[in-house]
Amino acid sequence: MIAALATPAGTGALAVVRLSGDDAVTVAERVFRGRGALSTAPSHQLRRGVVVHPDRPDDPIDEVLAVVMRAPRSYTGETVVEFSGHGSPEAARSIVEALIDAGARPATPGEFTRRAFLNGKIDLAQAEAVAGLVEARGRRARRNALSQLQGGLSGRVGALRRRLLDELAPLEAFIDFGDDVPEAPGLDRIIMAIDEVRAGIDRLLGGRERGRLMTHGATVALAGRPNVGKSSLLNAIAGQERALVHDAPGTTRDLVDVELSLGGYAVRLVDTAGIRVTPDPVESAGVDRARRAVHEADVALLVLEAPEPPGDDDRLVAELIDDRPMLVIRNKIDLGDDAACRDFARRVAGNKGEVLPVSARRGDGLDHLVASLAGRIKAAAGDDEGPTMTSLRHYEALFRARGALDRTAEAIAEGAFADMQAAELRESLSALAGSDGDSSMSGSTPIVSGSTPK
């Protein structure tokens, strides 16, 4: 019997305390006072009342709405009781303490989801999706986690497993019951299945960069020589005064960042120190940090001063970001438009960048800049087709499955015995099963023709 706060800690409008286990209703009734007993309440119907400590029934803790969700129709698959009270941290803590004194124990982190997995309510991929949904920092991460929670990823992997099973079952039947199955399964069919499953695995593996961007977000670094308006540009994009702006060059000496949502992805926009050769040790340290930030960025924004011709420091920054996906920003366009700066920007951008005239001060070109930046991030993420894997465990499992399929194809090409072909197919099947936590497909479990994975 476990109990814990199910909503984030801290003050809010509501706080939900969850109780899960076979005796959830019995324990809940020791602390709940309302109209009608919880033991007779229909499942999933709210009851209004108060929560009290079992040793102090005349001292109410909070007014709550209680709901009983009887097994197996609950998140954990067990009988669950939830109390929705006011969002006072003190009240929520006192309700949990009352339940513990009434016979429950504190839930460990993730224990409700672990019980849901152990009780077969969700598979391992869906359990991981719960954490992904809670921690989602962008619209695409949220949608992907919800799709995974609803079985989207498990369904795609399950389809690949079923395709392999369709060929493995008759192959093993031939190996084990050769006298009754005189003909071996056609190798053409097996090779076709291998090709189809390998293609499906490759499509899932191809979303690795998109999964990284969904999970961790994208980093965009503003880079340029001192006093080109990088800090003003960051403030203009963010819509807030995040970075200090001053006419004196070298004002920014450390990284200043702000988090945004662009194109459905969380984006960390980083303002860096102006890059130049300087004898000042403090500014030099800031320049070194700027170089590292640019090197680690998913997209770099090269900021130039539109009214001025490019100088040696501009060329230094351009060389630094030459290998990065970039946008070239000609800032301060409201103050002038130097032809040499235009030509330099076009040469730097080449075929891999875009040149954007912008005025951070007046807001000219900002909408186009934000749209172009969102497009760059979406391009880096690749095509968004179906659920995307965000767990290293999933990638490792699919790499193992892919390797086993390659070995199966080699075994067939070399004329290996059927039992060797079946062993490699089973290894691939086991790896696919491991991606969603299904241990029923271990190497020692015999395949029965017509069986389907859970």
What does the domain layout of the chain look like in residue ranges? 2-118, 139-207+389-441, 215-381
Are 433 and 143 spatial neighbours (Cβ–Cβ below 8 Å)? no
| pLDDT score, position 263 | 84
- Report the alpha-carbon angle 271-276-282, nearest 5: 75
Q: Can you tell me whether residue 109 is helix, strand or coil?
A: coil
Residue from 401, 443, 420 nearest 175 by CA:
420
Asked whether residue 258 carries a pLDDT value surpassing 80, the answer given is: yes
Asked whether residue 443 carries a pLDDT value surpassing 50, the answer given is: no
Q: What is the fold of 2-118?
A: Gyrase A; domain 2 (3.30.1360)
Phi, psi of 52 (to 5 degrees): -130, 160
Answer left, alpha or beta for residue 82, where phi above 0 means left and psi between -120 and 50 means alpha. beta
Phi, psi of 394 (to 5 degrees): -60, -45
pTM tops 0.75, yes or no: no
Mean pLDDT, the chain, rounded, equals 86
The CATH homologous superfamily for domain 215-381 is P-loop containing nucleotide triphosphate hydrolases (3.40.50.300)
Burial label for 40, CB within 10 Å (0-12, 13-18, 19+), is exposed
* pLDDT tens by residue, 183-225: 666 788 889 999 999 999 999 988 888 888 888 889 999 999 9
Cα separation, 143 vs 125, in Å, equals 15
Residues contacting 29, CB < 8 A, separation 6+: 37, 38, 39
| pLDDT score, position 240 | 64
What mean pLDDT do residues 29-53 have? Answer: 95
Residue count of the chain, please give it.
454
| pLDDT score, position 254 | 56
CATH architecture of the domain 139-207+389-441 equals Up-down Bundle (1.20)
